[in-house]
Amino acid sequence: MADATMTSEGLLLEFRRTKTEPRTVDLREVGGRYCPVVNLREWLACYEELAGRPLLGRDPLFPRLDRHGNLQLDADGAHARLSRAAFSDIVRRRAEQAGLVGRYRSHSLRRRFATTLARKKVPLEKIARRGGWKSLDVVWGYIEEAGWFEEDWSCALGLQELDAG
């Protein structure tokens, strides 16, 4: 919780443990059903209700819950953190419920983020900066088939059929 700061405009998240270096990500509140800030605010209200107290800086942003929705505690009696494997399992189950075919895990969200931005014509440098990638080559590895059929390369090469009229 100490790494999440709500502001009037949105949310600041600090990532201390990354592959490269610590960084801060800002998420603007845009409202609506799919807004991550709105959903996080709702989750935090539920989490405080589950905890029966205000959340503390040492509390994990996403704690481990049992199958009945009860908070799990670690050996020190603090709220246990949601593991990476548990998060991947949640993503997999939600993908199945949505009827998606394929192998979906937590890393799928990162790939889809890059792919969606690329399809929206966001410059690669901005995608890299937002996703925390230092190499544009690495970003390309995350982008799935974005734009493969958006350009008619045969026309660009002058191979289109000429109008007979």
For the cut 80, the answer to whether the pLDDT of residue 43 exceeds it is yes
Q: Which amino acid type is present at position 94?
A: R
Which residues are within 8 A (CB) of 22 and not within 5 positions of it... i.e. 6 or more apart? 14, 15, 16
Over range 90-94, report the average pLDDT.
93
CA angle centred on 14, ends 8 and 15, rounded to 5°: 150
Question: How far is it, in rounded angstroms, from Cα 132 to Cα 127?
Answer: 8
CA 33 to chain centre: 16
* Helix (H), strand (E) at residue 23: strand 23-28
Whole-number average pLDDT of the chain: 84
Query: What integer pLDDT is reported at residue 150 of this predicted model?
Result: 61
CA 61 to chain centre: 14
Question: How far is it, in rounded angstroms, from Cα 90 to Cα 96?
Answer: 10
Query: What integer pLDDT is reported at residue 52 of this predicted model?
Result: 94
User: Which residue would you say has higher pLDDT here, 23 or 13?
Assistant: 13
**What single-letter DSSP state applies at residue 98?**
T
| pTM metric for this prediction | 0.68
C-beta separation of 131 from 113 below 8 A: yes
Query: What integer pLDDT is reported at residue 30 of this predicted model?
Result: 83
